Structure 1
Amino acid sequence: MTAWKGRVEKGFGALAHNLYDHPLRALLLLLLVIGVMATQLRHIYFDTSTEGFLSPQHPAIQAYDQFREEFGRDELVIVGAVTDDVLTPAFANRFKALFEAVDKGLPATESVDSLLNARYVHGADDELMVEDLFEPWPKSEDDFQEILRRINSNNLYRGLFISRDQTMATIVVRLHYIQPDETLDPRKAQALADAQTAAFLQTLNAILDQHRSDDMLLYVAGSPVVTDLLRTSMMSDMRTFSLWVIAAIAVLLFVLFRRIFAVVFPLIVVILSDLLTVSLMGLFHQPLQLPTAMLPSFLMVVGIGDSIHFLSLFFSEFNRTGDKRSAIVHALEHSGLAMFLTSLTTAAGMASFSNADLLPISNLGVFTAAGVMFAFLISIIVLPTALRLLPIKPKPLGTSPHTAPLMNRLIDGATHISFHYPKSVVFSCITLFAASAILVSQMEFSHNPLKWLPDDMPAKQSIQTIDRELGGSISLEIVVDTGQETGIYDPGFLRKLEQLCAELGAVSTPEFEVNKVLSITDLIKESNRALHDNDEAYYRIPDDRALVAQELFLLELSGSEDLFRLVNREYSKARITLTLPWINALLYAPLMDTLEQRFHDHLGPGYSVTITGLIPLLGSTLNSVIHSAAQAYVIAIIVISLIMIVLLGNFKLGLISMFPNILPIAMVIALMQLNGVPFDMFTILIGSIAIGLCVDDTVHFMHHFGRYRERGCDTKEAISRTLHTAGRAMLVTSIVLCSGFLVLTLSELNNFTHFGVYSALCIMLALLADFLLAPALMTLLNPVRLQSTPDAPSDDSPTATLNRNN
């Protein structure tokens, strides 16, 4: 053992003596720090919004905020009513009752629009009239036929207020969000909006339940619906994850130690670690978002490893000697460095995401890394002091269930295969890696929050129904800045804009088509027709700038709400809205890549174009996923490789030791590709998290193998002794980790389920690699077989004592 390791271990021993002598002082100081930090929990809030995925400084968010400031929020809630034919007098009367109930019963709405109150622009007595479509309400068949004539004369209504096959009528609701104080943090303002959305949707669903029937099916869609579904699922999942993880850890600890202390206090350690970590998030005013929702349960699973290592050594020594002080000192002196280094590798894997462009991924990396180190610090304070203060009796030395014949046979089999067939093992693993690499290269990135919801969820089916009937329920916003006040008045500009809108409306791909394009040109053409005695020949952009200005002035006087949703009040900017369905943001890339250039080509110089809205935010998030994944994997591999080189004291061995850790990750990503699991902001975490966890087992294997070789064992004997000692601990910790990850499968969200299943699989494959591949590599690297030393001392590390801790 090198000198620095010896000095560090002596330092941990001295710490143990101090903790034994002053247990209350140490505990009170720790609890004081945690208590002070806990006051920051009041700053914690939830954020499941799409814009919450990106930093407030991200250009896409800044553009979106600017758009909202000028044109208002673009989130819509769409209620779809389905029947055989919506354009009948009978349905119109029923739909009117529903519309009035929604309009009067909902709190805090900016507007409630439908076919009933859709704008109808027409001329009467040389005046421009902007009225509701169903004004006055039709009382006869002739009146209703007039309504049908109005509908058929205006393309605005279809695809917005009624489906093209006339089987769905919609109510489009714009929420009026409470304007928070300007000094309020933008993220907290979003949390306030989320709470308002939740109350709004609860009221809306209660109203709809009163009007549903077999011949009028009701559906709800829109981005606020998806955001609220994710928020409620996340809050429910956090409670579920934590309870089940605590239960799983408790059972495993009791099976392992057969002591109540060894169940209660390790759980106290990880719960305090969670409390301190979440308080740290509150201190920095960071929200709990979808990826960070699994942070508490993840920290419990990872942090419990420190307790296992420490208590294994303590009870082994305590049962042997009956001296509590010496057992505590022995345990911390011999496990402290190992606990610190394994915590460091895990933290390094998570910290690789700290520079991610995605805010929740960055936060997960930063705060999970901090939480892992908190768990280490709390473990080495709480456990020794609690052992010092509580009466604990030693148990008679006996045989542990870990020495079961089946386990021995499995370890002997692994030793035999890896020692006698090392080339076959390594060649097979290289082949698996090559095959996996081919599949990994075909992996496609994805970002579609709707995909996270289970297919059998009624709310998801509702959104998909409206998307199918209307062609979409989310928007892509384009803002064209003419660069001068009243620049919108220019007929030449308006004609170019009209042509662009026509081209965009014709966009169709195998994955989607543009359902609706709304712009100021539609309103101007309607006004021009109305001012020319409703003559269809004048449904066009006027040639005269003054006439355009006059028509816009008349529209402004009429009080039409639509006008300033389409232009700003200085008439210098025009807004174009495209309605599209919820799909993988990657599929919008061909449209997004050409959109800005298409506008510049048509409009020419002097105009600036901003593309924003929900869909560009989804696209920016996807780009950030790709960049973050590449960056995090490279950082994690480099940092952990350096740590391995330092720990093992050998450059070549440090690099080779990474192969058993990288192979399982490649295999798991390949399996995801085969099973059609998307590579999104959750599944990209698997690799960096897994490499930080799996490398712990490799550290134990390489450390113990090297120790036995130094003590005179030949390669086979060193492998066998390593697997019979460290291998058992590796198995136990892997089971704990897998149990924790598999708890995530209890979530109703697909993203958590995928993450849990494939992370657990990665952990088990890594364990298999450390049982077969790592010994095979050591066999090939150590061809000279030394004479076995029968009396080679047994290992006294924490991992070796797992088989005798009772």
Structure 2
Amino acid sequence: MLKWLSTSFWDYIARKILRNRVFLLILVLAFTVFMASQWQNMRFTFTEANLLPDDHEVNIQYNSFLEKFGEEGNLVVLGFKDENFFSEKNYKAWEKFVAEIKKDKATELTLSIEDLRVLEKDTVAQKFKLVSFVNNDSISDRYLKRKEKEFFNDLPFYEGMLFNKESGAVRFAVYLDKKIVNTPARKEFIEKHLSQEKISAFEKETGLDLRVSGMPYIRTLNANSIISEIGLFVGAALGITSLLFFFFFRSFRATLISMFVVVIGVMWSFGTLGLLNYEITVLTAIIPPLIIVIGIPNCIFLINKYQQEIKNHGNKAKSLQRVISKVGNATLLTNLTTAAGFGTFILTDSKLLSEFGVVASLNIVFLFILCLIIIPIVYSYLPMPKEKHLAHLGKNYMAKFIYWIENTIRHHRVAVFSTAIGILVLGIIGIYQIKISGSIIEDMPKKAPFFKDILFYEKEFDGVMPLEIVIDTKRPKGALKSVTLRRIEELQETIIEIPELSKPVSIVNLVKYSKQAYYNGNPEFYELPTKQEEAFILTYIKNSTQKGNENMLKSYVDSTGQYARITTFMRDIGTDKMKKIEERLHDKINHIFPKERYEVSLTGKAYVFEKGTHYLIDNLVQSLLFAIVLISMLMAYMFRSFKMIIVSLLPNILPLVMTAGLMGYFGIPIKPSTILVFSIAFGISVDDTIHFLAKYRQELKANNWKIKRSVYATLKEAGISMFYTSVVLFFGFSVFTLSSFGGTVALGGLVATTLLFAMLSNLILLPALLLSLDKTIANQQEFLEPTLDILAEDIEEENSIEK
């Protein structure tokens, strides 16, 4: 028997806690102040979540791309679909709106109607020069209408980039300084120039419906939504759990004590983020409300046990000691299994998930220590509970609920097993219908204005999520060779045929535009030069990029001329479609780019996220299996019985299968948010199993190894706490459905559903399985004395505790 988990150990802990009350309270206060001081180190992440490890091939390719071409996510787009834009009044209003953006040092480049440049041929210098598309000295309604016609008809280079010729939609670009894209300066820029107030004022002045999007804008508003929801979740979790707690216990005193404990736990969780210098991400943001939801069941078990002891013998000192000594092991083990559910995320190579697992599992252990210290100490200073405070222990609705369960497993055990098998079969069928989603924007708030703008750009310009193709020609200046240009053009034609991708942009577009400019801007000549034309047109291009005017090329070709990029944007598509698109592109790439001469790779934020989703799913399935194995080993060590391992696992695996099946039937995809459900739910739901089996083994010894009598006795005592805690957990996790983020809603709803069915499974299927083992255990070898005393045995006398 492990000394540190023995009954005598917990007796010793009980004495130490109750004899050093003042010191421990001061220690808790001091540690809380220390953790609060760490809040200043908390910061919201300004980088995007990367689900892949740093040394993953896809990450290496993406970082290589960034080194050559710089940050791709620095583009903000502003646009509208309104023919009234090309009027003197609206043009000047737009010019005034953009002028402030241009002046900001965070702006690297703007591509707007008033500063739009077009290529013209300079026959004297034999080069192309950039001239203004609009003469600001000639602005009038008539002039702008003429320019509108030229804009849509004579500039095929900008089609798909700045306008949709078919619908008349227009968009302009703001390129931010790449150095500030992943810093707080990005947020300052967006809030200064593109706040809702600024946009509304412009719309009111012009009557135009301004649409704003692009990764910097989306990330900033998305981050603001996450920050605003932290307070919502904490407040909602405190509100719902305190109401439920009061409903069960009908005691303001017990409710306030519990709220006090979990509020300190929340403070410690924020402090942990600051102490470890972790950023607040979409995952770590949900830890504080999680602490509330998980902490309240601890309070329920401890306070419920205290009140049961008071009702049994009326001795406060003995009751306080037993709160610690009798349920110390059980509460510790249940918290450890919950922490293990979150701790499995640490095993992944994803920094995002690993940090979430570290903070969550640490604070669950912290919470156990807080509950074990504060609740007995606070009650030691308070008067004895009154009769009204103990009335909930004999509530009629609970008696009726327990009686219904007893009747079900006594008379309808075959129906219980049949139902379980049916759920298992239906769940497995549903699992085969689950789809995988690797979309960046799927979990973003659907009702937010910026999400509606995303849909606008998806419809008019085929999306805002960048997908990049990098061509390594394996030799300097190889990207400008005519053979390479024609291969790139052939690949771009394939991209154009894919409806989920936007019109691609590359060096090919620039070369085509150069030929058009060479032929005096005639759009009919927007095509690659012929062999005969190459010599003099490419000479114009090379002359144009000399003397510091290399901006024409640097966006499409790296400084050595060896690497070229093709940029396209993709709609919000599912992983299945993305996989088919990837296969189609790879087939085309392998066909037109010989491997001995070219190396072509796909990258970009959308591609990295999609690959990260698959990587995450593979890792979390392994983590869930590891959690099941770990908890199985814990059960084996506790009960030393193979049958007990099976009996304990079945009621907890069944709800997971059922939830996975529901996801398949209702079209809820597997994605980074929903894959978390299973490890979290399993780690929490197994707590009820531990409590039930611990009490069951105790009843077995008290009832001379009679299974039936022991099961029903266990139901009457452990069933109430299991019901209370499960209801609190159900409604506690349900607060996440208040979120505007689809992933958080799915996480909360699925965990809540899983835990509700896990409660029913542990209260109905688990006892039914125990009753089916045997009529009377003559062979007690199946239930040897456990390695751990999970619940201390009742004894008549306890050593008195000094107050």
Normalising by structure 1, what TM-score?
A: 0.88
1:506 to 493, 497, 505: 497
Task: Give 1:505-584 correspondences, 5 Å limit.
Answer: 505-508=496-499, 512=500, 514-531=501-518, 539-541=527-529, 543=531, 548=538, 551-557=541-547, 559=549, 561-584=551-574
* Alignment check: 8 A CA contact 1:102 1:204 kept: no
- Secondary structure at the aligned position of 2:120 is classed as strand
Tell me how far 1:41 sits from its aligned partner.
2.7
Counterpart CA distance in 2 for 1:236 and 1:579 is 30
Counterpart CA distance in 2 for 1:247 and 1:74 is 43
Task: Give 1:786-801 correspondences, 5 Å limit.
Answer: none
Q: Return the letter of the residue paired with 1:158.
A: E
* Alignment check: 8 A CA contact 2:199 2:210 kept: no
Task: Give 1:579-618 correspondences, 5 Å limit.
Answer: 579-596=569-586, 598-604=588-594, 605-618=596-609
- Residue number in structure 2 paired with 1:313: 305
Tell me how far 1:482 sits from its aligned partner.
2.3
- Residue number in structure 2 paired with 1:168: 169
1:150/1:457 Cα in 2 relative to 1: closer, same or farther (>3 Å)? closer
- Residue number in structure 1 paired with 2:79: 80
1:770/1:446 Cα in 2 relative to 1: closer, same or farther (>3 Å)? same
Tell me how far 1:517 sits from its aligned partner.
0.7
1:594/1:246 Cα in 2 relative to 1: closer, same or farther (>3 Å)? same
Moved more, 247-256 or 630-639: 247-256
Q: Deviations over 1:485-513 (max 9, x none)?
A: 322332222222222222222223xxx2x
Tell me how far 1:382 sits from its aligned partner.
2.6
- Residue number in structure 1 paired with 2:155: 154
Moved more, 37-46 or 438-447: 37-46
1:147/1:681 Cα in 2 relative to 1: closer, same or farther (>3 Å)? closer
* Alignment check: 8 A CA contact 1:178 1:193 kept: no
1:61/1:664 Cα in 2 relative to 1: closer, same or farther (>3 Å)? same
Tell me how far 1:238 sits from its aligned partner.
0.8
Q: Return the letter of the residue paired with 1:346.
A: T
1:452/1:95 Cα in 2 relative to 1: closer, same or farther (>3 Å)? farther
Counterpart CA distance in 1 for 2:263 and 2:526 is 72
Counterpart CA distance in 1 for 2:790 and 2:51 is 47
Tell me how far 1:714 sits from its aligned partner.
4.0
Task: Give 1:459-498 correspondences, 5 Å limit.
Answer: 459-498=450-489
- Root-mean-square deviation (CA, aligned residues, Å) is 3.1
* Alignment check: 8 A CA contact 2:432 2:664 kept: no
- Secondary structure at the aligned position of 1:576 is classed as strand
Moved more, 436-445 or 488-497: 488-497
2:427 to 405, 417, 436: 436
Counterpart CA distance in 2 for 1:316 and 1:308 is 12
- Residue 361 of structure 2 is aligned to residue 369 of structure 1: yes
* Alignment check: 8 A CA contact 1:78 1:220 kept: yes
Counterpart CA distance in 1 for 2:362 and 2:659 is 27
Counterpart CA distance in 2 for 1:739 and 1:367 is 23
Moved more, 340-349 or 596-605: 596-605
Counterpart CA distance in 1 for 2:414 and 2:724 is 28
Q: Deviations over 1:126-171 (max 9, x none)?
A: 4422223334656685885476346424322222211132431112
1:93/1:490 Cα in 2 relative to 1: closer, same or farther (>3 Å)? farther
Counterpart CA distance in 2 for 1:232 and 1:798 is 50
Tell me how far 1:689 sits from its aligned partner.
1.0
1:56/1:83 Cα in 2 relative to 1: closer, same or farther (>3 Å)? same
2:692 to 691, 698, 701: 701
Q: Deviations over 1:722-744 (max 9, x none)?
A: 11110011000011111211111
- Residue number in structure 2 paired with 1:765: 757
Counterpart CA distance in 2 for 1:211 and 1:562 is 33
Counterpart CA distance in 2 for 1:284 and 1:6 is 29
Tell me how far 1:256 sits from its aligned partner.
3.9
Counterpart CA distance in 1 for 2:766 and 2:590 is 58
* Alignment check: 8 A CA contact 1:517 1:576 kept: yes
Q: Return the letter of the residue paired with 1:78.
A: V
* Alignment check: 8 A CA contact 2:734 2:748 kept: yes
Task: Give 1:182-331 correspondences, 5 Å limit.
Answer: 190-196=182-188, 198-200=190-192, 202-203=194-195, 206-207=198-199, 209-212=201-204, 216-318=208-310, 324-331=316-323
* Alignment check: 8 A CA contact 1:520 1:567 kept: yes
Q: Return the letter of the residue paired with 1:467.
A: E
Q: Return the letter of the residue paired with 1:74.
A: E
Tell me how far 1:289 sits from its aligned partner.
1.0
Counterpart CA distance in 2 for 1:322 and 1:428 is 44
Counterpart CA distance in 1 for 2:131 and 2:196 is 27
* Alignment check: 8 A CA contact 2:440 2:606 kept: no
Tell me how far 1:207 sits from its aligned partner.
4.2
- Secondary structure at the aligned position of 1:26 is classed as helix
- Residue number in structure 2 paired with 1:642: 633
Aligned residues: 773
Tell me how far 1:111 sits from its aligned partner.
1.7
* Alignment check: 8 A CA contact 1:519 1:576 kept: yes
- Percent of aligned positions that are identical: 24
1:680/1:129 Cα in 2 relative to 1: closer, same or farther (>3 Å)? same
Q: Deviations over 1:635-681 (max 9, x none)?
A: 12211222222223211221232111111121122222222222221
1:205/1:542 Cα in 2 relative to 1: closer, same or farther (>3 Å)? farther
* Alignment check: 8 A CA contact 1:314 1:327 kept: yes
- Residue number in structure 1 paired with 2:801: none
Counterpart CA distance in 1 for 2:776 and 2:11 is 38
Q: Deviations over 1:40-90 (max 9, x none)?
A: 33332222754444455544444334433432322222212122576xx53
* Alignment check: 8 A CA contact 1:454 1:749 kept: yes
- Secondary structure at the aligned position of 1:480 is classed as strand
1:712 to 704, 709, 715: 704
- Secondary structure at the aligned position of 1:567 is classed as coil
- Residue number in structure 2 paired with 1:804: none
* Alignment check: 8 A CA contact 1:302 1:737 kept: yes
Alignment gaps of 5+ in structure 2? 779-788, 795-803
Q: Deviations over 1:527-549 (max 9, x none)?
A: 24434555755842464578636
Tell me how far 1:210 sits from its aligned partner.
2.1
* Alignment check: 8 A CA contact 2:545 2:552 kept: no
* Alignment check: 8 A CA contact 1:660 1:769 kept: yes
2:112 to 111, 114, 128: 114
1:93/1:777 Cα in 2 relative to 1: closer, same or farther (>3 Å)? same
Moved more, 115-124 or 721-730: 115-124
- Residue 716 of structure 2 is aligned to residue 724 of structure 1: yes
- Residue number in structure 2 paired with 1:19: 17
Counterpart CA distance in 2 for 1:145 and 1:487 is 41
Counterpart CA distance in 2 for 1:746 and 1:372 is 24
Q: Deviations over 1:771-793 (max 9, x none)?
A: 2211221122123489xxxxxxx
Q: Deviations over 1:81-124 (max 9, x none)?
A: 122576xx53x762453144224346322222134443411214
Alignment gaps of 5+ in structure 1? 180-188, 787-794, 801-806
Counterpart CA distance in 2 for 1:461 and 1:354 is 36
1:734 to 726, 738, 749: 726
1:143/1:465 Cα in 2 relative to 1: closer, same or farther (>3 Å)? closer
* Alignment check: 8 A CA contact 1:254 1:263 kept: yes
* Alignment check: 8 A CA contact 1:472 1:581 kept: yes
- Residue number in structure 1 paired with 2:134: 134
Counterpart CA distance in 1 for 2:169 and 2:248 is 61
- Residue number in structure 2 paired with 1:182: none
- Residue number in structure 1 paired with 2:401: 410
1:599/1:720 Cα in 2 relative to 1: closer, same or farther (>3 Å)? same
